[in-house]
């Protein structure tokens, strides 16, 4: 909405740039949260290698985030 109301003379479609920046920031936020989750869970469960937990946690998040009709 904000991107549509802003109008610059040299760039008419600033909402596209705002959407791209938003998607990139959302991606990094999800990656950092997933990394912190795996690190914390490995410390809690006393697992020496945190990478062992990445696939099971990824599958759990994938299944839990599915659309429900």
Q: What would the mean pLDDT of 37-48 be, rounded to a whole number?
A: 95
Count of domains for the chain: 1
Mean pLDDT calculated for residue range 4-30: 79
Let me know: does 57 contact 41? Beta carbons within 8 Å. Answer: yes
**Segment 30-47 mean pLDDT:** 95
For residues 69 and 42, which has the higher predicted lDDT (pLDDT)? 42
* Domain, as residue range, for 21: 2-64
Q: Cα separation of 8 and 21, whole Å?
A: 18
- pLDDT value for 54: 95
Confidence (pLDDT) at 4: 54
Q: Is residue 69 situated within a structural domain?
A: no
Q: For the chain, report the end-to-end CA distance as a whole number of angstroms.
A: 28
Place of tokens 């990094």: 28
pTM here?
A: 0.72
- Residue 50 CB neighbour total at 10 angstroms: 17
Does a structural domain hold residue 17?
yes
Q: Where are the alpha helices (DSSP H) in 1-69?
A: 2-5, 14-45, 54-64
């Amino acid at each position: 909405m904000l991107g549509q109301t802003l109008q610059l003379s040299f760039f008419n479609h600033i909402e596209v740039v705002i959407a791209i920046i938003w998607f990139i920031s959302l991606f990094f936020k999800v990656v950092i949260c997933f990394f912190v989750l795996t690190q914390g869970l490995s410390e809690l469960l006393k697992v020496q290698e945190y990478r062992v937990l990445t696939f099971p946690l990824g599958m759990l998040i994938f299944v839990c985030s599915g659309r429900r009709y």
